[in-house]
Structure 1
Amino acid sequence: MNRWWHRFFRTPRELREMGVVGINMRNARFVLPNNPRNLYELVDNKIRTKEIAEELEIAVPETYGIVRNPYDMSNLDKMLGDHESFVIKPARGSGGKGVLVITGKEDGLYLKPSGTSFTLDEIKHYISNILAGLFSLGGRRDVALIEYRVTPSKILTDISFQGAPDIRLVMLHGYPVMIMLRAATRESDGRSNLHQGALGVGVDIATGTTIRAIHHGKPVTAHPDLKVPLIGIKLPEWEKILDIAVTCHEMTGLGYLGVDIMIDEEKGPLMIEVNARPGLAIQMANGVGLLDRLEPALERSIRFKGDSREEKIAFSKKNFAAKLAEPEAAVAS
């Protein structure tokens, strides 16, 4: 534990002075005032989110099928068809819970990134758990979504262990304020969730270049399994990624949100999910607090409500470009 880490075992007032946003501040100052409750359904239900995204011609993974009840389950063979790789997720899941990634099929068995195999009956049992609400928000009965598995751009597969990395953008009124890449490790079993052992990699808004990385909250410079460098990687199609994120604000009407995007080798950037309550570990990945970025964006959004998509991106690039911290510096969520 380095000397910077000790700085975060302090009072809420001290943390605020350092620009660190905690859950209570996030909810009280940014989520509740900017996200009308009636709009949550647009993002809490992944199927609905995809529908409105497609209406705006935002690129999303193709839907292979939706299982709403046991009757639909009887048609699972038809839904899967010849698809040997796919993703199954709960429509109302959160934090990556309940996401099953299938990367191939061999001798009638479906394979996870780790090599673990599933029979068709076991996949049906898994989907039954989704329908029962095992992974959903509030334990409510749910729906299973089966969709295209992203084949990530090679530059990203080189830094992720058997899983597709995703990019999380935190937005305020359409202004990108902070961005990180989440990459899988052996420990995270192909998933990109930090609490399951994935890596958080800070990304410079101005250039789309990785600038800092953490694993279990501690700064790292190389992937723990692949031993490859994590810093200085330029993400492809950066302008399109920013444009998709700003469009997600426009399509939902939510003021404060997180947008998750993956970069497919052939299809390019795809919008995966929108979150009305994005987590705060992104601060650790970037080594800075959110407050100093959220307040300038909030002030500008109030004064310049007519800013175009291009103007919002330009403002964020200019004002939130990375200021590289000392190698040992870290900011806690």
Structure 2
Amino acid sequence: MISFLKSSRKILGMNARNLQFIRPNNLRRARRLADDKLFSKRVLKKAELPVPNVIAKIKSFEELENFDWGALPDSWVLKPNRGFGGEGILVVYGKKKPARDASRLGRDAGGSLPDTWIKADSSLVTIEDIKTHVQNILDGSFSLAGVPDIAFFEERLKLLKLFKPYSFKGVPDIRIIVYNKVPVMAMLRLPTRESDGKANLQQGAIGVGIDLATGVTTTAVQGKNKVIEYLPGTRLLLSGIRIPYWKDILTLAVRAQEISKLGFLGADVAIDRD
């Protein structure tokens, strides 16, 4: 117990992080950028940093009723603008062919088959399902303070071949903590079946530490505290994965901090196949 208490002093807890690093180093004006995804996209894009493209935005219930669902591509990601903890994100991977929907979904009032998309677990999502989800976003069900929010669709990034054996459906991302323009911690986040194809540890994704000097993965954790050595259900070691473009990724994270003016920043970087 004594040795554990001594070791725990080396761990930066959430309360200490918030009080000692985030609050004194991140001005309120800069925090607005971190809390607003669409604003962040505009600022980063203006600085010529790559961000996923926005397909469409829905700001009100009137816009929701008049939305052109036929304009959506086969795959996309739906997000709340001010969401947190990965809540409220809906990812679809393809569009169901109408011929296969006929027996299950019926036809709409005009006699045609409704548009239907496919989620990571192969379940189907209809326009009515999406409308309900957008309504919840607009109502603020996923926003930081429960205030009304904006829903937006963005392009779904494509999975890099290197990560295909390690990732369930979704695209892994790399979280880099940058403090005063210096990267201090990094991890690779791998989507799992439990996380519904999202790279979110709170929902069951796998987090794998990355050696900052080499860009090679080290210790892995699933969820919040389960240390694992292999990818569940396989004999694939999670340590020893060399992250491509590592120096570029670190440079990108530092550049994002400079632009944001946040002294303590968590930058999420995904490598797109294209």
The TM-score with structure 1 as length reference comes to 0.73
Partner of 1:99: 89
Matched, 1:117 2:108: no
Partner amino acid, structure 1, of 2:210: V
Q: Hey, what's the Cα distance between the residues in 2 that align with 1:227 and 1:143?
A: 42
Return the alpha-carbon distance in structure 2 between the equivalents of residues 227 and 98 of structure 1: 33
Query: What is aligned with 1:242?
Result: 250
Match for 2:24 among 17, 33, 53?
Answer: 33
The CA deviation at 1:228 is: 2.3
Task: Determine the C-alpha separation between the residues in 2 that align with 1:82 and 1:44.
Answer: 26
Q: How far off is 1:75 after superposition?
A: 4.3
* Cross-structure match for 2:112: none
| Corresponding residue for residue 63 of structure 1 | 54
Give, in whole Å, the separation in 2 of the partners of 1:164 and 1:201.
14
Distance in 2 separating the partners of 1:74 and 1:7: 60
Q: Which sits farther off after the overlay, 69-78 or 96-105?
A: 69-78
> Who is 2:149 aligned against?
142
Task: Find 1:212's aligned residue among 215, 219, 232.
Answer: 219
Gaps of 5+ in 1: 267-333
1:214-293 superposed matches below 5 A: 214-216=221-223, 217-266=225-274
Matched, 1:197 2:204: yes
* Alignment-mate amino acid for residue 181 of structure 1: L
Post-superposition Cα deviations, 1:184-238, rounded to whole Å, max 9, x if no partner, equal 1111111111121111101111121111211242321211145422111111111
**Identity over aligned pairs, percent:** 40
Amino acid at match of 2:80: P
Deviations 1:85-136 (A, max 9, x none): 0000000001100000011001331111111111112111111100000011
Q: Measure the CA separation in 1 of the matches of 2:22 and 2:272.
A: 30
Alpha-carbon RMSD across the aligned residues, in angstroms, is 1.8
SS in 1 for 2:197: coil
One-letter amino acid of the structure 2 residue matched with residue 253 of structure 1 = K
CA distance in 2, matches of 1:237, 1:226: 27
**Equivalent residue in structure 2 for 1:185, among 183, 192, 196:** 192
> Secondary structure of 1:27's match?
helix
Higher relative CO (CA 8 A, sep ≥ 6), structure 1 or 2? Answer: 1
1:71: how far off? Answer: 2.3
* Moved >4 Å (runs of 4+): none
Q: 1:30 to 1:85 in 2, by over 3 A?
A: same
- Residue identity opposite 2:94 in structure 1: G
Secondary structure at the aligned position of 1:101 is classed as strand
CA distance in 1, matches of 2:196, 2:57: 25
* One-letter identity of the residue aligned with 2:32: E
Say which SS state the counterpart of residue 260 (structure 1) adopts. strand
Distance 1:213 1:46 in 2: 28
Deviation (angstroms), 1:53: 0.3
| Aligned residue in 2 for 1:311 | none
The answer on whether the counterparts of 1:69 and 1:131 sit within 8 Å (CA) in structure 2 is yes
Conservation of the 8 A alpha-carbon contact between 1:186 and 1:225: no
Q: CA-to-partner distance for each residue in 1:50-101, whole Å, 9 max, x for gaps?
A: 00000000000011011101222234325x6251000000000011000000
| Amino acid aligned to 1:81 | A
Distance in 2 (alpha carbons) for counterparts of 1:7 and 1:163: 39
Structure 2 counterpart of 1:54, from 26, 45, 66 = 45
The residue type paired with residue 178 of structure 2 is M
Question: What per-residue deviation string (whole Å, max 9, x for no partner) do you get for residues 249-301 of structure 1?
Answer: 111101011011111001xxxxxxxxxxxxxxxxxxxxxxxxxxxxxxxxxxx
